[in-house]
Structure 1
């Protein structure tokens, strides 16, 4: 339970924007397709709903998403930050070293991140 509360702690998106734009960090949108369609998405975000994250990020899975590796920094967002906290815990369990909970799409936008529709 303590790990979840720690994962809920939101990272400030502002200093991470440049790293994401430079391709040094992967940004993942954990929301469902309907949410993305209704509100848009962070520019450049990889879409992996939370229910697919573990399989797509598991280094032992041959079918994993090729952009995801435990040594690649990752930032996650959802609608409010709860699913991204769950995603932080999932990736840490899989051995990912640097994982950030950016909170919700609104936090991304407030930090200056662009939205695509």
Structure 2
């Protein structure tokens, strides 16, 4: 039986980032933040100021740098942090971005974590 080896670039992102660090880095422009919740959730509670809104179902398609509608601010070598309502969907999105070749990807957790860390919300 032949064993297949997989070679991946080392992850610079640990998978988690403290909400406080995410708020600070987003404020200074050194981190792209993505809200992966459904449109109705964003309409009901708003989203982090400056965050992109890309529902989980569209992450693979919209965040692929080869896609024509991939936001220009997203690059495989730039840091990205994601959040949802509680952290589960954003963790799935972290894996999707890693599968697309993104190097530094973090899970903030939920919007409540962002707000508790002093992050502002826009509607």
Same fold (TM over 0.5): yes
TM-score (norm 1): 0.86
Aligned length: 109
1:11 paired residue number:
17
Within-5 A mapping of 1:1-117:
10-117=16-123
Decide which structure has greater helix share: 1
Structure 1 portions without partners, runs of 5+: 1-8
Structure 2 portions without partners, runs of 5+: 1-14
TM-score (norm 2): 0.82
The alpha-carbon distance between structure 1 residues 114 and 63, as it changes in their structure 2 partners (threshold 3 A), is: closer
Q: How many Å separate the matches in 2 of 1:13 and 1:75?
A: 10
**Contact in 2 for aligned 1:10/1:81 (Cα 8 Å):** no
In the TM superposition, residue 31 of structure 1 has moved relative to its aligned partner by: 0.7
In the TM superposition, residue 80 of structure 1 has moved relative to its aligned partner by: 0.7
Q: How many Å separate the matches in 2 of 1:42 and 1:65?
A: 17
In the TM superposition, residue 18 of structure 1 has moved relative to its aligned partner by: 1.9
Instruction: Choose 1 or 2 for highest CA Rg.
Output: 2
Q: How many Å separate the matches in 2 of 1:30 and 1:38?
A: 14
Runs (4+) off by over 6 Å: none
